[in-house]
Structure 1
């Protein structure tokens, strides 16, 4: 929020009645979900009545998390809320919206409002990424664009932000007028008009008219002129000096034509002053190219230069925000997109499916498209998508989808409902397939996901690929455009799962990968990873696989250089290698005393092509070692000069790890090695707020027991209850990687936003925690590391480092990948 709210302001803004006044600190956060309360005393809980959930049923849950200020619609559930401030309003939703409008009016920065049928979230995310390199910005989380989502997005605007990007979605007439008064955009972006939410409007024209209400007071409106209906409506309703159009043909304010090339697209910009600029992107699909051009024009309107925009384009991602990758039965890979279902969303999801590593078949499980308008034309379009993405099989569920006529190359199986699909699914022998599951909520396709995903015990490691991308983007922003990135995916990608992360890094255009051992590199090659891969610890027995799988070993000694050289010589082959130079780590590597002999070997074995020269900084993560690190860097430069003299060519040079990228930006050289920072840990402590945790380790409560004071818990009776209370047994132990040093109160876990200490010794497969006084139930989710539990602080509690906790997570803990 921009400013804290006093009680008097709350009453005035909401037109509420003060039912009870307790201790009332200023409100700095507003919540409608009791599961997402982090600072209870400063939080106002608004009890919304939803279709399935009534916030009044969760007042005590919010109270247990420290909330003492509530907005309610009646006094039915408030008697247990002692020493609280209770405000009663006629409509909690209207009160929430009024508070959001107040917060918006406190903000003096620029607000960009985005609406349209498709592409809102993508454009918001992309524009946010581009602007974030220059400004401190706020934006809607995920797809928070509804009557409740928009207010919650507005509450994310704080006084340090320079701009805010808010998306607005509607499904009924009258909704946009309310959102307009909340968002009040200075600049508007109209994406397109399509079939989503068509059932709420009498015509496409009515829906378009409603959407354009968002821009009633906007100074500038960005849109694509080629969308004829949008162009007509805007020119009818707004003066020309408020409209900023773009087109792929001459005639718009900006011309942005596209030309698809072998590895992407070229976008040629002609500005109103006839200035020219060429953008380059790896996108080739039409939806992404349209979204990208909206983003470019909006960024230009906001004052960014073409060069600044181009710097961010290479790291923009294509994916929808709600897709989840899950391991399936029989080596299948599932893409869970059971959130919603419309034509544009299907296109995006299929694009994502198409970008995954190859499997035996590409399969779509699809329900009726309920929000689609004209059914026949919509299913014709679905058929075209099936053909375009070359699907092998479709499972079609519902009554309307029977109109689907798939191309001859695709087998379609029709089912009248989800129950019949589930009954027949085991007969289809799914094996090593890539399966997209996309359906409207009422079809309960989560049951399909449950049937097809690999069986897991209650512990999972969730990996947020968007957070990974954002961290990658942050580090890229610290580098010169010419600096290459080598990403460390050794040790199962720091516990995150090397294959999926490596595949994602290929999409992010990383330059190199690094693994510890040859078999790690072989596994990546077998999963179709094509990036160059450096092997840090090769052994003589692996020489054959290094050649076979095009892996690039590190050579660190004269004897190893000779062994590899003789192997290549006898097998009449060449190999790229990386020379490790020891400048002060004193672990592996050539010393200065080895250089003369190394020069002889370089001439003797030219089959070893030197891809890079590198060194390790021993103390880049601490300022006290700065003098030592700079001496290492100077020595490295000197050694590299000598070796280049032997070679007659210049290999890549690299010295900086994650910590070094931050601390020694002047020494980027040709490449940097990004490791722990990519996974959300900034070991210097200088930019922790710029990174996002990538992994969340979570489990569930298996059982709850009520114990008496003096009862003991666990092996060796190490845990003793010092009070009457209750414990919960959770489904994780040291065999899963939960370190035994967390035993006996050293460790804490998070349940429903509250911390609970470990009691007794951690067992092989289970851990007991003290949940006395907490409102928890069997089956509740428990966070071990992640949101609300800093991995860095957890590691510090047992005298170790985050690397150890991450890499110790057992392979039996299933990895789930998602995009928020």
Structure 2
């Protein structure tokens, strides 16, 4: 972050300085007191479970030189910090980021879609890092807190900023696009996500299309040719480039070879050889989206082909771990019906059916279609796996769907939560198994992957 004076923070947020000196300078912004560094501004966010105002003292102890608050906080009279009072700290963070973004001139890419946002972001950053100074969203920093924090992490040396946007209400994507101001927008796909809020896929598509609508007339929309709802998106005057596995896409893959858990091989545009070291045909699509953006930003197709071999997936996204007597596919970060099916297809291509074990948790925010979609995933799994473990109240319907598809009941086990899973799990696992673990973020499926890794240990040659 470029140095910013407190009086500039006051101006940008329409706040008032209730303590401290206006000429004080901040060198960073944070919302988690545990990770505040000396010289930073701590923004006290009120959340559903936590109120950041309770952690102001901790932030000051860790070196915060200024705090942004919406309610009084107890501080010693001689505390060497500036205090900026605003009506709403969450909105003030957005206002500060919008003002700060206007001072910088990076090229900006924003990515949205039901699946593949974080993976596409990481692949794009990996392709670009040898040529450009890149700032990317950390982890899944994709909401009205993560996007402004990523903006504030840029400085005058930043050549390219890569953002991901995920909102569950109409107008949300547009709001965040105003903050990061992208010139390139990528729509990965439209699936059954946030149906609890968006109603149906048409509602999801409408929300994703807001990114295209917010691009400048000189901008570029990179659209998934394989997704009919994405291909209906447009903005007058904005250029469009398509990607996809369909050979009709402008950026496509030819002569695809699926190497199972060792990845995939194909020819980019039918000319340039690519070997991705991670599994899944859906990840070819994510790569093609990233490649289309990288080419627009100045990389040649030859450079993209060469850099592809260095790319890796984010953690908990089809992370393959070779343990002592089994193989673990850790896809535990999140789940929806389409990503569940994609992960199960990876499992299907990994080994013989008798050695395929899927551990699947609830998929959340699916609204009125939740029961139907859980059963559909179960039916799909029941035709693929040799054994199945389900975790969560809704996942019981996955078990039912699998049994309907013909998977014997004695090959299905159910738990109410990931915390309930104990060492009896290992009676259900046999040597040589390949185990897929996947579920929605709130299901904490990583507890199960950690249990498996501790029990089996890393493979030694």
TM-score normalised by the chain length of structure 2: 0.84
The corresponding residue for 1:10 is 9
Alpha-carbon distance change, 436 to 381 in structure 1, aligned in 2, over 3 angstroms: closer
- Are 1:74 and 2:68 matched, yes or no? no
Alpha-carbon distance change, 231 to 6 in structure 1, aligned in 2, over 3 angstroms: same
The corresponding residue for 1:197 is 194
- Tell me if the contact between 1:171 and 1:200 (Cα under 8 Å) persists in the aligned partners: yes
- Tell me if the contact between 2:122 and 2:314 (Cα under 8 Å) persists in the aligned partners: no
**Counterpart Cα distance in 2 of 1:43 and 1:63:** 9
**Counterpart Cα distance in 1 of 2:275 and 2:327:** 28
The corresponding residue for 1:626 is none
- Are 1:182 and 2:176 matched, yes or no? no
1:283-302 map, 5 Å: 285-302=280-297
Residues paired across the two proteins, number = 446
The corresponding residue for 1:474 is none
The corresponding residue for 1:278 is 272
Cα shift at 1:7: 1.5
Cα shift at 1:128: 0.9
Aligned-residue RMSD, C-alpha: 3.6
Structure having greater relative contact order (Cα 8 Å, sep ≥ 6)? 2
Where 1:166 maps in the other structure, the secondary structure is strand
Where 2:390 maps in the other structure, the secondary structure is strand
- Tell me if the contact between 2:122 and 2:313 (Cα under 8 Å) persists in the aligned partners: no
- Are 1:95 and 2:68 matched, yes or no? no
The corresponding residue for 1:217 is 215
Of the candidates 248, 254, 259, which is equivalent to residue 258 of structure 1? 254
**Counterpart Cα distance in 1 of 2:451 and 2:243:** 47
Of the candidates 109, 121, 137, which is equivalent to residue 112 of structure 1? 109
**Counterpart Cα distance in 1 of 2:382 and 2:79:** 59
Where 2:4 maps in the other structure, the secondary structure is coil
Cα shift at 1:10: 0.6
Q: Deviations over 1:477-511 (max 9, x none)?
A: xxxxxxxxxxxxxxxxxxxx9x66xxxxxxxxxxx
- Are 1:384 and 2:383 matched, yes or no? no
- Tell me if the contact between 1:325 and 1:335 (Cα under 8 Å) persists in the aligned partners: yes
The corresponding residue for 1:795 is none
Alpha-carbon distance change, 132 to 37 in structure 1, aligned in 2, over 3 angstroms: same
Alpha-carbon distance change, 194 to 382 in structure 1, aligned in 2, over 3 angstroms: farther
Where 1:228 maps in the other structure, the secondary structure is coil
**Counterpart Cα distance in 2 of 1:63 and 1:300:** 44
The corresponding residue for 1:395 is 390
**Counterpart Cα distance in 2 of 1:133 and 1:385:** 41
Alpha-carbon distance change, 345 to 143 in structure 1, aligned in 2, over 3 angstroms: farther
Alpha-carbon distance change, 227 to 393 in structure 1, aligned in 2, over 3 angstroms: closer
Cα shift at 1:303: 2.6
**Counterpart Cα distance in 2 of 1:166 and 1:14:** 22
Q: Deviations over 1:92-121 (max 9, x none)?
A: 111111121122222212101111111111
**Counterpart Cα distance in 1 of 2:435 and 2:35:** 32
The corresponding residue for 1:346 is 340
Of the candidates 350, 357, 368, which is equivalent to residue 363 of structure 1? 357
Cα shift at 1:316: 2.2
Cα shift at 1:229: 1.6
- Tell me if the contact between 1:116 and 1:169 (Cα under 8 Å) persists in the aligned partners: yes
**Counterpart Cα distance in 1 of 2:271 and 2:319:** 37
1:32-71 map, 5 Å: 32-38=31-37, 40=38, 42-71=39-68
Query: Which 5+ residue runs of structure 2 have no aligned equivalent?
Result: none
Where 1:52 maps in the other structure, the secondary structure is coil
Of the candidates 221, 241, 244, which is equivalent to residue 244 of structure 1? 241
- Tell me if the contact between 1:121 and 1:167 (Cα under 8 Å) persists in the aligned partners: yes
Where 2:127 maps in the other structure, the secondary structure is helix
- Tell me if the contact between 1:343 and 1:382 (Cα under 8 Å) persists in the aligned partners: no
Alpha-carbon distance change, 414 to 231 in structure 1, aligned in 2, over 3 angstroms: same
1:675-690 map, 5 Å: none
Q: Deviations over 1:562-588 (max 9, x none)?
A: xxxxxxxxxxxxxxxxxxxxxxxxxxx
**Counterpart Cα distance in 1 of 2:142 and 2:131:** 25
The corresponding residue for 1:137 is 134
Where 2:193 maps in the other structure, the secondary structure is coil
Where 2:11 maps in the other structure, the secondary structure is helix
- Tell me if the contact between 1:415 and 1:421 (Cα under 8 Å) persists in the aligned partners: no
Query: Which 5+ residue runs of structure 1 have no aligned equivalent?
Result: 270-275, 457-496, 501-522, 525-820
**Counterpart Cα distance in 2 of 1:356 and 1:232:** 35
**Counterpart Cα distance in 1 of 2:242 and 2:329:** 36
Where 1:145 maps in the other structure, the secondary structure is coil
- Tell me if the contact between 1:367 and 1:401 (Cα under 8 Å) persists in the aligned partners: no
**Counterpart Cα distance in 2 of 1:449 and 1:250:** 38
- Tell me if the contact between 1:23 and 1:68 (Cα under 8 Å) persists in the aligned partners: no
**Counterpart Cα distance in 2 of 1:137 and 1:170:** 24
Cα shift at 1:207: 2.0
Where 1:217 maps in the other structure, the secondary structure is coil
Q: Deviations over 1:626-657 (max 9, x none)?
A: xxxxxxxxxxxxxxxxxxxxxxxxxxxxxxxx
* Larger-gyration structure (1/2): 1
Q: Which segment is superposed worse, 68-77 or 374-383?
A: 374-383
TM-score normalised by the chain length of structure 1: 0.49
1:324-335 map, 5 Å: none
**Counterpart Cα distance in 1 of 2:441 and 2:187:** 27
- Tell me if the contact between 1:56 and 1:77 (Cα under 8 Å) persists in the aligned partners: no
The corresponding residue for 1:438 is 438
Q: Deviations over 1:696-740 (max 9, x none)?
A: xxxxxxxxxxxxxxxxxxxxxxxxxxxxxxxxxxxxxxxxxxxxx
**Counterpart Cα distance in 2 of 1:50 and 1:198:** 22
